[in-house]
Structure 1
């Protein structure tokens, strides 16, 4: 009994010493996040913009549109891509659990019963006088195994799995951001077409009135058949334009239904009757270094870079010894009634197995080179994503500025075209000009009105693009 206690104490001492040694060093290098951009400000940052960017998590609420808010909530709840991204997080966390399990001892419990009989004609049986040995064997026990993480190879594997889980979470955030921006973009495109249809309906009504006027003048002998044909052509063109815009709206409505996770056949968004659009909100921008770190795609690439760095440590660990400890404890007896008696005890502590790679045909060396190359690829990929993010922010900010200036200039054109139409119609009614002047003025006024709505739509879409390019929903 004393010898058994000594062996157990010696084993425990060896285990404690190895654990202390494993805590002193770790293969690979600790991860250092790549440097962020050093730009002081964005090139197209609006004058007087605040240096701090503040957007609510539900960033689309800055538009103040209750219908848009409801659509966004429905999309985030029902769209299949959100569910796919959520399941990928579950998978990544499960992989992390598998990696962490390698840091813990493995303990199993077993029980068994067997009946054996040896041959009487073997050397053993002859030595026993030509007798065989037969009987029952009952056993119950446990087995223990544990890999001693001497140099942190397992810890690096856990670090890599943890980084992959963080990457999956960032990817999920990226899916939410992309989905919410697509819903907002499609919604404002729809509302833009609604406003354009309202303008076309008004233009169609105006052309009907004008056609009636021309026909009345023709019947009175004050006009000619060419003017009546032109009036009919203009009315038909306005009707055709209205049908074309309705076609475009139907397609956008179908696309919005898919984003909402609903059937296009069952989703109907009532058209707005107003021929105007709201002013775009002012999106707080902030500074490049502080804002771009919140973009989900950049957060994901940093996590991937961290995982690749940890995998280098895992590959380096293959060059060093690995140490594993096993043990067994249980009871065995020929009789079931005696199986749990003290005399039936059986246990072993060890072996403390050491495995050292000597020759592997260059496998470990190639694996290390592969891990380092993947890290360099991940680093280059992150730098590429960072530059793309900067470009997207600058593009969206430039769109906001230029669309605003374009709207100011176009409003002058719209007012002038409307005035020209009123003058041309008054002159035609007095017989001072031909109907050709009226049709030209009508076309110019309609084109100016439609251009104004299209620019207003683009300004709203530019605001959505700014929020999306900055990562949106940060605090």
Structure 2
């Protein structure tokens, strides 16, 4: 009996051997890197600039243990990271579904039935007006397999694989964005702590000055206008203190949300008055060619482009014949005891079915046009993201450069303002000038001190922006093990 099915089996084997000889659609070619040799605002990083890399836990370059702890909490507890991890698992499961189409599907079935035919049908009358009844027991297995002659299934698997890579890159992008937000919020918080320390010192100085002026007024050595000016300056300093405290509360609430904690509970105590903001670290800078491989959003964009290219092949495969092979083997018997006997054996091989689309009212052609348009859209979107990434890097590097120069000049202003305040106070105490000169000098000194603290904060934020724009340390590493 097997000989009768030999031609079908040989045809199936031949078709399987031909599978893989042709693949619909064009093979994917990754888009080229930018042609610019180096970033415009980057400092000279030496001959090995292209190999410069930040560590996976890029925030450790700041050398702040509190920041390191906050980053780890965020990676472990932030709901956005957990959601991104689940999206990655979904994409990987979808890839498994697509890969299953490359292998035969085998199923096993069993059945028990009791039947009785009608004696009044043509069949029953042909049997002399008798009906047929009895039990039927069966057990068997069936196989079905689509022969991927043209590579349509392989293109579908390629598209699903690219989607899984894109989901992984999106997860890494969420991690990069989150770590950048945590670092930015943390340095904003410490910058506001520095301003609070300056304002507290200023408030204490203003209170002492007010007491001194009031004492001089009582002694007849000053006038009421000087007293009013002293009170105004003290009240302004106190009002500024409350405003900065309000800003700090908002930043602390945002930081608590980022690390997955309730904003109702205090997250970080204020820094010690003597604490100073650190100098920003030197962030290594690579060439634009390395940007495509570093930034997770660009890597995800390339993966999406690859998936769109594979979908064009899937759409082209609809124009070609599809070949499928089915078969089954099992046992069937009226008596359960005879189910395993040789006479109860039954099987079939085939048919080896071929399906060729002849007329579909233009559906396949429209699907192919749709897939090609989506690919072109993905290519244009990738170019847009690439230009945006280059702009972000240049913006961040420009900020680092200009903030450093601004800080150097502001230090000169801060020294001059402090000297002017000492001179104004000395002149007032000797009766050479009015208290108006002192208040003007106090305002200038306070503004210079606060501006210096703000510039130091902005320099730290610019360093964070550079790390984030360059892709930071988004590559998988020990620091990110908590989100796997």
In 1, the alpha carbon distance for the partners of 2:80 and 2:89 equals 14
Q: Secondary structure at the match of 1:156?
A: helix
Q: Secondary structure at the match of 2:141?
A: strand
Q: CA deviation at 1:8?
A: 4.6
| Equivalent residue runs for 1:10-25 within 5 Å | 10-25=7-22
Q: Provide, for residues 179-209 of structure 1, a one-character-per-residue CA deviation record: whole Å limited to 9, x for no partner.
A: 0000000000000000000000000000011
Q: Secondary structure at the match of 1:38?
A: coil
Q: Provide, for residues 318-346 of structure 1, a one-character-per-residue CA deviation record: whole Å limited to 9, x for no partner.
A: 00000111111111111111111000011
Relative to the length of structure 2, the TM-score reads: 0.96
In structure 2, the partner of 1:189 is 188
In 1, the alpha carbon distance for the partners of 2:332 and 2:140 equals 8
In 2, the alpha carbon distance for the partners of 1:290 and 1:265 equals 42
In structure 1, the partner of 2:32 is 35
In 1, the alpha carbon distance for the partners of 2:44 and 2:117 equals 96
In 2, the alpha carbon distance for the partners of 1:127 and 1:267 equals 92
In structure 2, the partner of 1:180 is 179
In 2, the alpha carbon distance for the partners of 1:268 and 1:351 equals 70
**1:278 maps to 2:278:** yes
In structure 1, the partner of 2:383 is 383
Instruction: Decide whether the 8 Å contact of 2:8 with 2:349 is kept in 1.
Output: yes
Instruction: Decide whether the 8 Å contact of 1:113 with 1:139 is kept in 2.
Output: yes
Instruction: Decide whether the 8 Å contact of 2:217 with 2:223 is kept in 1.
Output: yes
Q: Provide, for residues 248-306 of structure 1, a one-character-per-residue CA deviation record: whole Å limited to 9, x for no partner.
A: 00000000000001110124211112362100000000111123421000000000000
Q: Provide, for residues 385-422 of structure 1, a one-character-per-residue CA deviation record: whole Å limited to 9, x for no partner.
A: 00000000000000000000000111111100000000
Q: CA deviation at 1:48?
A: 5.0
In structure 1, the partner of 2:214 is 215
**1:226 maps to 2:218:** no
Q: Secondary structure at the match of 1:138?
A: strand
Q: Provide, for residues 51-90 of structure 1, a one-character-per-residue CA deviation record: whole Å limited to 9, x for no partner.
A: 1312110000000000000000000000000000000010
Instruction: Decide whether the 8 Å contact of 1:55 with 1:474 is kept in 2.
Output: no
In 1, the alpha carbon distance for the partners of 2:422 and 2:7 equals 105
Instruction: Decide whether the 8 Å contact of 1:338 with 1:344 is kept in 2.
Output: yes
Q: CA deviation at 1:434?
A: 0.1
Which runs of no fewer than 5 residues in structure 2 stay unpaired?
476-484
Q: Secondary structure at the match of 2:279?
A: coil
**Aligned length in residues:** 472
In 2, the alpha carbon distance for the partners of 1:90 and 1:191 equals 37
In structure 2, the partner of 1:399 is 399
Instruction: Decide whether the 8 Å contact of 1:54 with 1:474 is kept in 2.
Output: no
Instruction: Decide whether the 8 Å contact of 1:292 with 1:389 is kept in 2.
Output: no
Q: CA deviation at 1:6?
A: 1.9
In 2, the alpha carbon distance for the partners of 1:275 and 1:217 equals 36
Q: Secondary structure at the match of 2:343?
A: helix
Instruction: Decide whether the 8 Å contact of 1:140 with 1:330 is kept in 2.
Output: yes
Q: Secondary structure at the match of 2:109?
A: strand
In structure 1, the partner of 2:251 is 252
In structure 2, the partner of 1:414 is 414
In 1, the alpha carbon distance for the partners of 2:350 and 2:298 equals 48
State which drifts further: 79-88 or 41-50. Answer: 41-50
In structure 2, the partner of 1:26 is 23
Q: Secondary structure at the match of 1:360?
A: coil
Q: CA deviation at 1:474?
A: 6.0
Q: CA deviation at 1:216?
A: 1.2
In structure 1, the partner of 2:367 is 367
Q: CA deviation at 1:7?
A: 3.5
Instruction: Decide whether the 8 Å contact of 2:176 with 2:474 is kept in 1.
Output: no
In 1, the alpha carbon distance for the partners of 2:315 and 2:219 equals 96
In 2, the alpha carbon distance for the partners of 1:437 and 1:46 equals 44
Instruction: Decide whether the 8 Å contact of 1:199 with 1:275 is kept in 2.
Output: no
Relative to the length of structure 1, the TM-score reads: 0.98
